[in-house]
Structure 1
Amino acid sequence: MIRREAPILVIAAILTGCGSPGSSSNHELDGPIFLDLLQVCAGPACLGLPVENLTLGPVAPPVIRSQWLGPPGAPALAHPTALERPSRATALATPPPGCSSYSLGMQVLVIATDGKENDLPAIQQALGYHTIPFSTWTAAQNPGLLTADKLSAGCAGKYQGIILTTGGLLYSTDGGASFRSALTSAEWQALRNYEASFHVREISWYVNPSADQGLNPASASVDTTTSPIDGTLTAAGKTVFPYVNSANPITISQAWAYLTTPSDPNVTPLLVDKDNHALVSRRLTSDGRETMALTFDSNPNLVHDLVLAHGLVEWLTTGIYLGEFRAYLTPQSDDLFIDDDMFTGGVYRITADDYNAAHSWQVGQQANPGNSGFRLAMAFNAIGADTSGDDPLTSAVLATNADYLFLNHTWDHQNLDNADYAFAFSQIDQNNQFAIGQFQNFTTANFISPDVSGLTNPNALAAMRDTGVKYTVSDTSQPGWSNPAPNIGIYSSIEPSILIIPRRPTNLFYNVSTPDEWTAEYNSLYATYWGRALSYAEVLDKESQNVLLYMLEGEIDPHMYHQPNLRAYDGVHTLLGDLLDLTFQKFRKSSTLPVMSPDMQVAGARIASTMARNASGLTATLTPGVSVSFSSPVDVQFAVSGVCTTGSENYAGKCITPVHVTAGGTVTLPVQ
């Protein structure tokens, strides 16, 4: 770190050691620096070099045109006409004909028509963020092949839940002139026999209402892009979606919707509009099947789908499933202790007052209901720290360090793409040596490379491995570095011991610290997209909406920010605080779920666990009302939800339990 003592003079300082990363020099920062005295400057910005390449988040979710469904029509099937519907407990205790007991595979079957439905990726995304194994059956591509043996083998059912993309699975091959079901009558009968015999629930994620759902034909269809519909949970709906903030409506928007009422007294509306039209309803059929129907379209970016998805998955699986779900928000602020070059010119390093204002903001957010598990992570460059007591920022950081996670961001923030081993090792190790003994919440297992560099450099990756790194991050805006699937990471192909956690950039840029700076840079990039320059409030609204979607999805990926974003631009407020305040406000309008900010090594372990489970050949079986059983040919650890043991985590009143199965072993746990 460079310190200036004289009060007025401006001097030119030359740092020695002019080598670039990978050369044989000592790799110190070099070049002329013009320093304003009484200030502290550290890092590449002090040389007039950009600290980061500007990375951009999505400006807005893509607009997906909603699909109008074809005319309703229940499959032509004979329905049993039993007068008494069995209770759920009685049904679960009744095995399929010819069986004294039965079991279900702990996975979900998704049945699509031709695979082009808007809601198909929304369904797959919902299951993915719960890390639930599922299979997708595209019926039009497998005509007549959904036979009984695809669904069960003897007394063993293969699926614990069925999701249909659309009611009746109707689709058109002639542009809408005619529609037909993607399943034959024999396939429908096989499916319904399976659901009835094995007591497996079914959700139709989007229906044009008909007698098949116990609903009257639609009295109207609505384009909610122009006429949004506010849905209210009924008393029954509050039990299915207990985490939803029922004080506020769930607004159906940007989707086609159908208005209907029940035709069957065994239909229970769960979400209704102001005129009591059933938007989401549950039905117990005469043959004992339990079904649910939604009368509006969805896609992966629509808030109404994301708000309801967790409850839909919980209902489908009766709350017991292989996987886990939480609401996450994990902001990582890079470049602590060094200066960043600014969009409007010059450099900025936050002050102790800035840092303390951000700390007060975090404490305030943590005091709000459901937010106690939220906190920032600080990625630091220790070249800019001074533990002598002469630097107020370092003193402020150390005074409250127990309240944050600290992440190694290298010693002086030099790009590692072309670094040799010795240089990369030194950059990581020097930072480790500073942090050990200074920070309570620090581990050498976590690392964030400057400018997200070095991920394809064998020298840098070897240095990461040898300094104890197990988890690092990528930039999801770069090709090939996003999640292969929801809440799944990427193992380095060069150093397979290192798991790369995809990290989301946002449009809160690294080089802005005030509302005027942020709006100026944002509008320089996006005014053409929006057709005009946006105000600060509008920028906050756009960006908070993007972060909101990640939270509602249950995405575990951390988010990228930088230390200038923590500047207390008016003595109290920061750009990051303003952004997340609005995000929390929007989230709490919809959800009461606890928001978690897992330490990077905790998030990495969860991702790694899911990936190992998926690759293990694990067999997971549910014996309804009795137990769950897991067998694996290899040693594997994973999470199961809805099963409680002494080692369970309680999240929003639900048990999430770690399970360890040794190679060739079996673990059986009782269900309550």
Structure 2
Amino acid sequence: MAHTAHRWRNAAAVAAAAGLLTLGLSVPGAAAAEDPRIDLRVLVVDNGDSSVKAITDQLKTTGIPYTTVDLNASNRPAITSAFLSDTVNGRPRAKFQGVVSPNEAPFGAGSAEQTALENYERTYGIPQVDAYTWAHPGVGLDYTTEGGWAGSLDGHEASVTAEGRAGSFGYLDGAFAFEDNDPTVPESYGYAARPRAGFTSYVDVPVPGGTGRGSLVGEYSHDGRRELVVTFAYNQYQQQFRLLARGIVEWLTQGIHLGQARNYFAVHVDDVFAPDARWDTERNCTPGDIDCVGGGGEEAPPIRMTAADATYAAQWQRDHGFKLDMVYNAGSGEEWKTENGGTDALADRLLADKAQYRWINHTYTHPFLGCVQDTSTVPWSCAKNANGSTQYMSRSEISAQIRNNYNWGVNKGLPLDRTELVTGEHSGLKTLPQQPADNPNLAGALADNGVKWIASDNSREPAQRSVGAALTVPRYPMNVYYNTGTEQEMADEYNWIYTSTADGGSGICENNPASTCLPEPLDAATGYDDHIVPQEARIALGHVIGNDPRPHYAHQSNLAEGRILYPVLDRVLADYQALFAADTPVENLAQGAIGTELQRRAAWQNAVTNGSVTAYRIGKTVTVNAPSGTQIPVTAPEGTVKQLLLGTSAFGTPYAGKRSAWTTPALLQSAVTLKLP
């Protein structure tokens, strides 16, 4: 379902409401006698617009502390000099390092609050982002009637200018297109205008129907203040914002802030060595599944990779510089071997190339590890004991499934991490509506086998949570179905799910507000490449560029027969490489590393929310205090060093033109101290 920005304005309406819409940016003022203390926290002035919420979301996911002033709240604090600044031990303090404003003058031009804000920005050199405003001289732009343009930007191609690439937007390669996911719905309105004196454009677009280029994002320096002026509407889900979000935040914080953001992509391939059942295009179900009526004994040949498919997978990885996570069921593979003459060319090939992949335990034979399923009815239910309690798989049975699969892998020399586990169908964890709680025997079995990271389904449980001493790692399911090996099967099942009953589909989409019916069924021959691949690649890329480390998952069946997963992965990686510079690569993390990242983020957010983090910059020194043992995320310019008890060391690792890391105070120190270049 397309996410759209809803704020449409015509020039007349905007001009009439100029007092409410005008925004201003901050510029450094005169140097003080001593360097002031500038706290590493952002002020967000929120009027409820989607653009402000989008930038706020970027601050939160990055890990940057911020304070929100809700303009719609009657009890909000007044913006005064005392609210914005004070002194600490006699040193002037700016309480905020940057300001996010809905427009250039959120409190009204000339008002006491607007004047206080502008004076603060001027005095301390605090930058301001105007989240969305119209093109006019008050923000350093000509009116759109003077060689510019206003209208829908859907489908238009914008570019990062040379000045943008030399500054905060240098992580982008240059050009990108505004989303146009639904031609019948306007998704992003904007004003493309010519810069005036003092304005430097960072992102621009060819003026539609005119000549030259008009700015969409740029810096307006005036009256001792600096503003980043954004003249198009957006929300936090749209790709054009996701691409620019990093640069907006880096400009706002001058590249020095708490938190860090990177682009992540990991792909788990479940059921390796096991065969997967095949979708029945006649009955519109999967024979062998509980809810497939009349399925017993009528299963079509299952879908399973061949040795040639394994050879292709290894070569694909080498060609793309990308590593897949093979999530394997050894016992299912052994059963296959026994049933097929005692040999398994697929297993032989995968094991010969074992060092080229990451491997994750998926249990020995992929059983359901939750309650005992009563399949006498559709849908199934949990079987009950005589006393009415739920029957569950025992701790010893679960533990054996984990242990036997792990031991098989160790004996075969797989590069395994015993702390990582993916259960079949994420079973053992709660499964609504039938099993509203985890199998009470699961946590003990995980502990028996040293499991610290257990995969969960992000569509059911997007937040990380504990299972005994272990933590979940939510995974994104890809709309490339486990029971399809060809594009035609995939299009057929997709049609069944996403078309109305009148068009021969299930009609599920008609009753589910979170889903959208296809206007007409996809062509079985072309629908996969023309519709499903670009849509799934766009969704996955949205996760990748959203600072979201959660892995995606598909199945070995999607690497078999028609090898239908590769077009999606190819599209994601190709689109990414076309958008981002070489210094901003995709981070391809293992499951344990992803779990650790999510765990650290949760602990950091808790520390920030509790007010137990203090961070500030005085001149070229950054100081951060946090609760003992807390991993602290920091982003800083190249050349930054960490102060040690004696001497310094290079700080962080390079990414997107900055250096960032999770860090803790050095030996015998109580705070993190960084020296800026």
- Which range, TM-score by smaller chain? 0.7 to 0.9
Match among 575, 579, 587 for residue 568 of structure 2: 579
What corresponds to 1:207 in structure 2? 133
CA distance in 2, matches of 1:354, 1:579: 17
- Say whether residues 1:124 and 2:56 are aligned partners: yes
Cα offsets for 1:401-449 (capped at 9, x unmatched): 2222111111111112222211111111112212235355321111112
Deviations 1:499-553 (A, max 9, x none): 2222111211111111111111111112341211221212211211111211222
* Aligned equivalents of 2:170, 2:669: Cα separation in 1: 39
Of 664, 667, 674, the residue aligned with 1:669 is: 674
**Counterpart of 2:447?**
465
Say whether 1:499 aligns with 2:490. no
In structure 1, what is the Cα distance between the partners aligned to 2:255 and 2:591? 27
**What do the CA deviations read for 1:159-215 (whole angstroms, capped 9, x no partner)?**
22211133433xxxxxxxxxxx57982221222222222222111121113343222
The one-letter code of the counterpart of 1:633 is P
Counterpart of 2:60 in structure 1: which amino acid? G
CA displacement at 1:70 relative to structure 2 = 3.8
C-alpha distance in 2 between matches for 1:647 and 1:143? 39
Aligned pair in 2 of structure 1 residues 244, 193: CA closer, same or farther (>3 Å)?
same
Residues 143 and 607 of structure 1, relative CA distance in 2, 3 Å threshold: closer
Instruction: Please list, as runs of the form range in 1=range in 2, the aligned pairs for 1:256-271 lying within 5 A after superposition.
Output: 256-263=189-196, 265-271=197-203
Indicate conservation of the 8 Å contact 2:22/2:133, yes or no.
no
Q: Which residue of 1 aligns with 2:307?
A: 352
Is 1:62 paired with 2:3?
yes
CA distance change for structure 1 residues 137 and 498 in 2, over 3 Å: closer, same or farther?
A: farther
Q: Name which of 624, 628, 631 aligns with 1:637.
A: 631
Q: Is the 8 A contact 1:628 1:669 kept in 2?
A: yes
Displacement after TM superposition at 1:473 (Å): 2.2
Distance 1:152 1:671 in 2: 23
State the distance in 1 between where 2:109 and 2:626 align. 35
| 1:233 maps to 2:238 | no
Structure 2 Cα separation of the partners of residues 648 and 659 of structure 1? 8
Q: Choose from 640, 664, 672 the match for 1:660.
A: 664
What is the rounded CA distance, in whole Å, between the counterparts of 2:305 and 2:571 in structure 1?
Answer: 23
- Compared CA separation, residues 517 and 252, structure 1 to 2 (3 A): closer
Residue aligning to 1:380: 328
Q: Which amino acid aligns with 2:162?
A: A
Offset, 1:390: 3.3
C-alpha distance in 2 between matches for 1:637 and 1:73: 45
- Spell out, residue by residue over 1:56-109, the C-alpha distance to the aligned partner (whole angstroms, 9 max, x if none): xxxx443453443743535799999xxxx99x6xx6x924xxx62322222222
2:143 to 217, 223, 247: 217
* Counterpart check, 1:426 vs 2:400: yes
Q: TM-score, normalised by structure 1?
A: 0.78
Q: Is the 8 Å Cα contact of residues 42 and 98 (structure 2) preserved in structure 1?
A: yes
Which of the residues 438, 453, 458 maps onto 2:412? 438
CA, structure 1 residues 646+313, in 2 after alignment: closer, same or farther (shift >3 Å)? same
Give 2:458's aligned residue. Answer: 476
Partner of 1:73: 18
User: Equivalents in 2 of 1:131, 1:609: separation in Å?
Assistant: 10
Aligned to 2:220: 283
* Residues 347/216 of structure 1: CA separation in 2 closer, same or farther (3 Å cut): same
What's the counterpart of residue 150 of structure 1?
A: 83
Which residue in the other structure is 1:321 paired with?
257
Matches within 5 A, 1:446-457: 446-455=420-429, 456-457=438-439
**What is the CA–CA distance in structure 1 between the aligned matches of 2:549 and 2:362, rounded to whole Å?**
20
Partner of 1:606: 597
Q: Does 1:393 align with 2:346?
A: yes
The one-character-per-residue Cα deviations of 1:147-168 (angstroms, maximum 9, x if unpaired) are: 3333233222222221113343
- Distance in 2 (CA, whole Å) between partners of 1:78 and 1:648 is 35
Counterpart position of 2:617: 623
1:245 maps to which of 173, 177, 187? 173
User: CA 1:519/1:324 → structure 2, altered by over 3 Å: closer, same or farther?
Assistant: same
Distance 2:448 2:104 in 1: 55
Is residue 322–residue 620 contact of structure 1 (8 Å, CA) maintained in 2?
Answer: no
CA shift digits 1:475-501 (9 cap, x unpaired): 1222xx114xxxxxx222x52x32222
Inter-CA distance 612–358: structure 2 relative to 1 (3 Å threshold): same
Query: Which residue matches 1:297?
Result: 233
Q: TM-score, normalised by structure 2?
A: 0.77
Deviations 1:300-324 (A, max 9, x none): 2222111111111111111122112
2:40 corresponds, among 100, 106, 130, to: 106
Percent same amino acid at aligned positions? 26
1:571-609 deviations in whole A, cap 9, x for unaligned?
Answer: xxx211111111222223322331121111111112211
| Residue-pair matches, total | 564
The residue identity in structure 2 corresponding to 1:646 is A
Per mean C-alpha deviation after superposition, the further-off stretch among 404-413 and 629-638 is 629-638
Runs of 5+ unmatched residues, structure 2 = 181-186, 207-211, 281-299, 372-392, 430-437, 501-516, 642-648
Following the alignment from structure 1 to structure 2, what is the Cα–Cα distance between the partners of residues 353 and 135? 56
Q: Is the 8 A contact 1:375 1:597 kept in 2?
A: yes
Partners of 1:163 and 1:204 within 8 A in 2: yes
Match of 1:309 among 245, 254, 267: 245
Q: CA deviation at 1:295?
A: 0.6
Distance 1:542 1:262, change over 3 A: same
Residue 536 of structure 1: aligned partner: 528
Matches within 5 A, 1:179-218: 181=107, 185-218=111-144
1:230 is matched by which residue type in structure 2? E
> What is the SS of the residue equivalent to 2:18?
coil
CA distance in 1 between counterparts of 2:520 and 2:227 reads 47
Asked if 2 retains the 8 angstrom alpha-carbon contact of 1:610 and 1:638, the reply is no
Which secondary structure does the structure 2 equivalent of 1:347 belong to?
A: coil
Structure 2 counterpart of 1:207, one-letter code? T
Mapped to 2, the partners of 1:620 and 1:307 lie a distance apart of: 30
Cα deviation digits, residues 11-60 of structure 1 (max 9, x gap): xxxxxxxxxxxxxxxxxxxxxxxxxxxxxxxxxxxxxxxxxxxxxxxxx4
Whether the aligned pair in 2 keeps the contact of 1:112 and 1:166 (CA below 8 Å) is no
Determine the structure 2 residue equivalent to 1:30.
none
> Within 1, Cα distance between the matches of 2:404 and 2:263?
35
Task: Determine if contact 1:207/1:293 at 8 Å carries over to the other structure.
Answer: yes
Greater mean deviation of Cα atoms: 121-130 or 328-337 = 121-130
Q: CA offsets, 1:619-672, max 9 Å, x none?
A: 242325412212123321132112454362222443223311499922212112
User: What one-letter code is carried by the residue in structure 1 that aligns with 2:41?
Assistant: Q
Q: 2:96 aligns with which of 144, 154, 159?
A: 159
Counterpart code for 1:438: K
Hey, what's the Cα distance between the residues in 2 that align with 1:620 and 1:136?
17
Moved more, 436-445 or 575-584: 436-445
Change (3 A) 1:268 1:451: same
CA-based RMSD of the aligned residues comes to: 2.9
Tell me the distance in 2 between the aligned counterparts of 1:307 and 1:76.
25
Moved more, 386-395 or 634-643: 386-395
Instruction: Indicate whether 1:549 and 2:566 are aligned.
Output: no
Shift in alpha-carbon separation, 1:501–1:167, aligned structure 2, 3 A: farther
The residue aligned with 1:178 is none
Structure 2 vs 1, CA of residues 438 and 222 (structure 1 numbering), >3 Å: closer, same or farther? farther
Contact 1:631 1:664 survives alignment (8 Å): no
